[in-house]
Amino acid sequence: MQRFLNPSVLAEISSLDLIAKIVVDGFVAGLHRSPDFGFSQEFAEYRAYTPGDDLRHVDWNVFARTERAYLKRYRGETNSLLTVLLDASNSMNYTSHKITKMDYARFAAASLFYLAIHNQRDAAGLIVFDDEVRNYIRPSTRQGQINRLLHGLDLAEPRARTDFAKPLHHFQEFLRRRGIVLMISDFYETPERIIRTIEPLRFHGNEIVLFHVLDPREIKPDLDGPAILVDLETNDHLEVTPEYARDEYPQKIQGHIAALREAAQGAGMDYFLLQTDQPLDAALREYLTIRQGRN
Amino acid sequence: MGFLSPWFLAGAAAVGLPLYLHLLRRHTTTPHPFSSLMFFEHRTQSSIRHRKLRYLLLLSLRLALLILLALAFANPYLKRTAVSASGDKLMLIVVDNSFSMRAGTRLADAKKQAENLLSSRAPSRRAQVAELGSQLHVLTQPVQDPASLRSAVESIQAGDARGSFGELARAVGSMEDSAHVPIEVHLFSDMQRSDMPASFAEMALPPNVSLVLHAVGNKAEPNWAVESVNAPSRVWDPKKARVTAVIAGYQTPAATRTASLVVNGKTIDSKKVNVPANGRATVEFQSLDVPYGLSRCEIQIDSGDALAADDRYLFAVERSDPQHVLFVHEARDSRSPLFFGSALASSAEASFALESVPAERVAGLDPSKYAFVVLSDAASLPSQFENDLQQYVRRGAGVLVAVGTSSAHRAKVPVFGADIMGAHSYLEDSARYLTVGEADSSYPAMAGGQGWAGVRFYYAVAVDPADSRVVAKLSDQTPLLLEKKMGEGRVLLFASGLDNLTNDFPSGPLFVPFVKQTARYLSGTQDRNGSRIVDSFLELRTAKDQAVSVEVIDPAGRRPLSIEQATTAQSFQLTDAGFYEVRLANGRHDLVGVNADRRESNLEPISDDVLALWRGAGNSNGQQAAAAGAAAESEPAKPSSIWWYAMLLVLVAALAESFVAARYLTAQAEES
């Protein structure tokens, strides 16, 4: 199973549905099929009954066996609403190996959709954007929703450039119900601007998670000699020396990642860095583990 | 340095092509897409510097490739002197040390000239030293070391052999075949005419060999020599022995010379002899008073010429009691022992005593006591005696059988064993006699005289030759003289009588030499010769004497045969003039006087036009090479093409360019 979770192997599978199933099954297998993890409100613990507690929460089965009253505690009572904001700008088309950042983002989104709909019966929706909203699939639990979402991911080909500010008001229109918002992007923007743009969504009571997708060569470029680099979004040309790429650039990108993580956490958002050479299930497990621990 | 095809240098203009391409390439860069340049900064200067370095290496290789290619096609050459141009040519120094080089200072002059040539030789040039006698003896390997070459030249001593330019050509041809390098032969010789082979073609050198002649003593000096000596090798009566010597003069005026007979170092007789101008004279000594045993004899003359070594002629003589010869005949036959005995006794050097015995009285005789046996028309022989004779022959002895009228009725020839098919009496024919139709003059018994056709044969017995050798036949093809090998010995069959009834042979002039040669042949003394020529071979053993040790002591007192050779060698080459002491395998001691070939005494040189022809046959560059040896610095330079080296550099540059370009392209592919 682990072999199929390798991003390079997943890239050779054309069906997003199958990819999502493989990733989620692998991920669930890694969690020993624990039913206590997921997006919806779940059983948390037993607590001894104290006077004044609602008797509806007493677990009478336990009382019958032990003659002691315990309350059954839950973390939530209703289904969650999952919305994925997917950056489809041109920079997401970069890759240094078999799988592009866009593909990796699509695999991740598809896996999350599969997990939410098939495993948790949650509603899930998708917003594809670059410098504007290119596709919107309303969150739903209707029959065939997973297929609509996966089709939307299929259509999400990178183009244009990223602009978080412009499609923001559309986000606010679409995200009226409270839920979980996952933004998947390479976040080539200053952390302040990113947080300032996304922060209003938080005010609606949404739980916001930033998935920062980067290629390993974006973190640590490997240039044999001087080279002219072309910006995939702006088409700007720049002559770069290997010394700069080796010494200065890694410091700058690491500083950007650290600043974005700090700014996100400061604004009450979750931040996860996804490198396209890492297995998808590991990335998802990290996210879900952290989220479960926080709740 | 120059160019044989300079217009090809125009091709060097093609260097503009890589220059143009590399200039274009400087402005052409394949861009690399990247997700965002947000965190990159512009760095130009370092980039260009790196690219220049990499391009310059490739550019310089490409420029070198094109320039070298143009150079190679322009066919460059270097002007080199003949000496440097012939760096791979082997210099073969040949010093003639034949007998004639003993005249005056010829050998010393030749060695001095050879050393001068070695001194003027380019140090890097390989040379080899050889001496020429009857054969070419190589003294060194092809080396550059002047010391070893010089010492080899200094070590050359005068020899006694006859020089052979034909052998020189053959040996040099073999060297050229095996070494596969051009050879420049420098011959230091007196260019003696007698050293030439019978055919000039045998002197021709291969095309790859050049010949440079260095003549020494190149003029016809007068020289007297003892050309030959005729003396018996065995003497039993000194009074009857005669010694005849021929005194020859080459390019000499008429003069009177004193010839002396010296025996064991003591002059026992001297005679004055008038030698005509450029001619020969014979001097005869009437007796040869030598003691019993082997004596060292020589004929000396007082010549006073430059070549003193040929003023004496050595020969060995053995004095002994006469050997007995058994002559078996019919009792009524008194003629044949008379004729045979007289002929045997008339030979001055014959040391045989004839013992004639009638056939009916031979019973009980031991043939082994006799030097050889003659059966003259014996009608019947005791079977025991005949068996003894056959054993006697098988042990190596000789028997002469003559079949005349008495033995014609026998079925087989005694001892010889051939079938008698009949008898022919030619007196009844119209011609009344027959003569010898065919005769093998190389046969020893027939070598003594000419005119066999004049001998009349009235009667002959026809025998079946079977496996015997027919030496002579009558004109009707009847075998007359036959030889048959039996064991180690031999039997001669004369198909007629030894009297003067069946033929007139005994009363003719040929009978004495026939008897003399036959006696020497059958007794085994024919092989003995008191004097030999240098480089002739001495028979050391016969087939029955295998594995028996022999001993040879040369004139210098050394034993030239190793222990192994002493037990296995069949013959020995007499390489030096002087007396050789020999103990043969049959136990007999012998003494041999060895003299140089008297053709060496004629110091007349080869004419200049023949020498020029020989040089031309070797190599047309011979004279030029000679001058190079004498004055290398003054030699005009000649062009030597070096295009091959240029092509080699082109290949190296092409390989390097491919390697560097492949690496560059690989890096480009990875970057893109």
Q: State the DSSP string of B442-479.
A: TSGGGTT-S-GGG--BSEEEEE--TTSEEEEEETTS-E
> Token pair of A71, please?
């309350």
Q: Which residue has the higher pLDDT, B369 or B619?
A: B369
Q: What residues does each domain of chain B span?
A: 2-30+43-78+641-671, 83-219+603-630, 223-313, 323-526, 529-595
Min Cα–Cα distance to chain A from B658, Å: 21
In this prediction, residue B47 has a pLDDT band, given cuts at 50, 70 and 90, of: very low
CB-CB neighbors (< 8 A) of A233 in chain B: 35-36
Give me the amino acid identity at B282: T
For A66, other C-beta atoms within 10 Å of its C-beta total 10
Interchain proximity B31–A188, CB inside 8 Å = no
Q: Of B27, B64, B171, B24, give the one whose Cα is nearest residue A239.
A: B27
CB pairs < 8 Å spanning A and B: 92
Minimum CA–CA partner of A250 in chain B: B39
Q: How far apart are CA B554 and CA B571, in angstroms?
A: 14
Q: Which of B25, B32, B39, B663 to mutate to test the interface with A (most CBs of A within 10 A)?
A: B39
Q: Over 90: is that where the pLDDT of B262 sits? A: yes
Q: Which CATH number fits domain B529-595: 1.10.3470, 2.60.40, 1.10.10, 1.10.1740?
A: 2.60.40
Return the pLDDT at B633: 41
In this prediction, residue B622 has a pLDDT band, given cuts at 50, 70 and 90, of: very low
Task: Give the mean pLDDT of chain B.
Answer: 83
For residue A157, how far is the Cα from the chain centroid? Answer: 18
Give me the amino acid identity at B451: G
Interchain proximity B43–A244, CB inside 8 Å = yes
> Token pair of B73, please?
């096609």
Same fold for the pair B223-313 and B529-595: yes
DSSP A5-70: HSHHHHHT---HHHHHHHHHHHHHHHTTT-TT-SSS--EEEEEE--TTS-GGGB-HHHHHHHS--E
CB-CB neighbors (< 8 A) of B32 in chain A: 227-230
Strands A227-231 and A207-214 come out as unpaired
Long-range contacts of A254-260 (CB under 8 A, 24+ apart): A254/A219, A256/A191, A256/B38, A256/B39, A257/A212, A257/A214, A257/A219, A259/A191, A260/A187, A260/A191, A260/A194, A260/A195, A260/A210, A260/A212
Q: Over 60: is that where the pLDDT of B626 sits? A: no
Min Cα–Cα distance to chain A from B54, Å: 11
Beta bridge partners of B95: B131, B188
Q: How far apart are CA B311 and CA B299, in angstroms?
A: 8
Q: Can you count the helices (H) and strands (E) in chain B?
A: 13, 33
Q: Which of B26, B27, B34, B672 to mutate to test the interface with A (most CBs of A within 10 A)?
A: B34
Q: How far apart are CA A133 and CA A164, in angstroms?
A: 10
Min Cα–Cα distance to chain A from B666, Å: 11
Min Cα–Cα distance to chain B from A97, Å: 13
Minimum CA–CA partner of A223 in chain B: B671
CB-CB neighbors (< 8 A) of B40 in chain A: 229, 238, 240, 244-245, 249
Q: List residues of B whose CB lies inside 8 A of any A CB.
A: 29-44, 46-48, 50-51, 54, 667, 670-671
CB-CB neighbors (< 8 A) of B37 in chain A: 229, 231, 234, 236, 238
The partner residue sitting opposite A218, judged by closest CB among B33, B35, B47, is B35
Q: Which residue has the higher pLDDT, A153 or B545?
A: A153
pLDDT, tens digit (0-9, with 9 covering 90-100), for A34-85? 333 344 445 556 778 888 777 887 888 888 988 888 887 665 444 578 888 8
Return the pLDDT at B520: 82
Interchain proximity A227–B37, CB inside 8 Å = no
Q: Of B290, B282, B311, give the one whose Cα is nearest residue B233.
A: B290
Q: How far apart are CA A151 and CA A132, in angstroms?
A: 19
For A255, other C-beta atoms within 10 Å of its C-beta total 12
Minimum CA–CA partner of A214 in chain B: B35
CB-CB neighbors (< 8 A) of A230 in chain B: 31-34
| Residues contacting residue B474 through CB under 8 Å, at least 6 positions apart | B434, B435, B436, B437, B457, B460, B480
Rg (CA), chain B: 41
pLDDT in tens, chain A (295 residues): 344 445 655 555 555 566 666 666 655 544 433 333 344 445 556 778 888 777 887 888 888 988 888 887 665 444 578 888 898 888 888 888 888 899 889 888 888 888 788 766 778 888 888 877 888 888 887 888 888 888 888 888 887 776 777 777 777 777 766 778 888 998 888 898 888 888 887 777 778 888 999 999 888 888 777 778 888 888 888 888 778 888 888 999 999 999 999 998 888 888 888 888 888 777 777 777 766 555 4
Min Cα–Cα distance to chain A from B656, Å: 22
pLDDT, tens digit (0-9, with 9 covering 90-100), for B49-84? 545 555 678 888 888 888 888 888 888 887 665 444
CB-CB neighbors (< 8 A) of A88 in chain B: none
Least confident of B17-31, B125-139, B539-553, B654-668: B17-31
CB-CB neighbors (< 8 A) of A130 in chain B: none
Q: How far apart are CA A185 and CA A209, in angstroms?
A: 11
Rg (CA), chain A: 21
Interchain proximity B36–A232, CB inside 8 Å = yes
Give me the amino acid identity at B279: G
Least confident of A280-284, B134-138, B492-496: A280-284
What pTM was computed for the model? 0.52
SS (H, E, C) B577-642: CEEEEEECCCCCEEEEEEECCHHHHCCCECCHHHHHHHHHHHCCCHHHHHHHHHCCCCCCCEEEEC
CB-CB neighbors (< 8 A) of A186 in chain B: 35-36
Q: Which of A238, A249, A252 to mutate to test the interface with B (most CBs of B within 10 A)?
A: A238
CATH assignment, B83-219+603-630: 3.40.50.410
B223-313, superfamily in CATH? Immunoglobulins (2.60.40.10)
Task: Give the mean pLDDT of chain A.
Answer: 77
pLDDT, tens digit (0-9, with 9 covering 90-100), for B314-348? 999 888 888 889 999 998 888 899 999 888 887 65
CB-CB neighbors (< 8 A) of B42 in chain A: 238-240
Q: Which residue has the higher pLDDT, B485 or B41?
A: B485
Q: How far apart are CA B326 and CA A162, in angstroms?
A: 143
CB-CB neighbors (< 8 A) of A245 in chain B: 40
Q: How far apart are CA B617 and CA B180, in angstroms?
A: 19
Interchain proximity B36–A239, CB inside 8 Å = no
Least confident of A148-152, A220-224, B164-168, B263-267: A220-224
CATH topology of domain A2-34+78-294: Rossmann fold (3.40.50)
Q: How far apart are CA A3 and CA A26, in angstroms?
A: 10
Q: Over 70: is that where the pLDDT of B110 sits? A: yes
For A95, other C-beta atoms within 10 Å of its C-beta total 20
CATH topology of domain B323-526: Rossmann fold (3.40.50)
B344 within 8 A of B352, measured Cβ to Cβ:
yes
Return the pLDDT at A19: 61
CB-CB neighbors (< 8 A) of A105 in chain B: none
Return the pLDDT at A41: 47
Minimum CA–CA partner of A101 in chain B: B35
SS (H, E, C) B276-297: CCCCEEEEEECCCCCCCEEEEE
In this prediction, residue B270 has a pLDDT band, given cuts at 50, 70 and 90, of: very high
- What percent of chain B shows pLDDT beyond 70? 88
Q: Which DSSP helix (H) or strand (E) runs through B395?
A: none
Interchain proximity A241–B37, CB inside 8 Å = no
Interchain proximity A91–B36, CB inside 8 Å = yes
Q: List residues of A whose CB lies inside 8 A of any B CB.
A: 91-94, 101, 186, 188, 215, 218, 223-234, 236-241, 243-245, 248-249, 252-253, 256
pLDDT, tens digit (0-9, with 9 covering 90-100), for B509-534? 888 888 888 888 888 776 566 788 89
Q: Which of B40, B42, B48, B49 to mutate to test the interface with A (most CBs of A within 10 A)?
A: B40
Min Cα–Cα distance to chain A from B34, Å: 5
Return the pLDDT at B218: 65
The owner of tokens 């210099």 is B91
Q: How far apart are CA B352 and CA B524, in angstroms?
A: 12
Residue B586 burial by CB count (10 A; 0-12/13-18/19+): exposed, middle or buried?
middle
Return the pLDDT at B565: 84
Interchain proximity B35–A240, CB inside 8 Å = no
The partner residue sitting opposite A233, judged by closest CB among B31, B36, B47, is B36
Q: Of B60, B94, B261, give the one whose Cα is nearest residue B165.
A: B94
Measured over the CA atoms of residue A197, residue A202, residue A204 and residue A207, the dihedral's sign is: positive
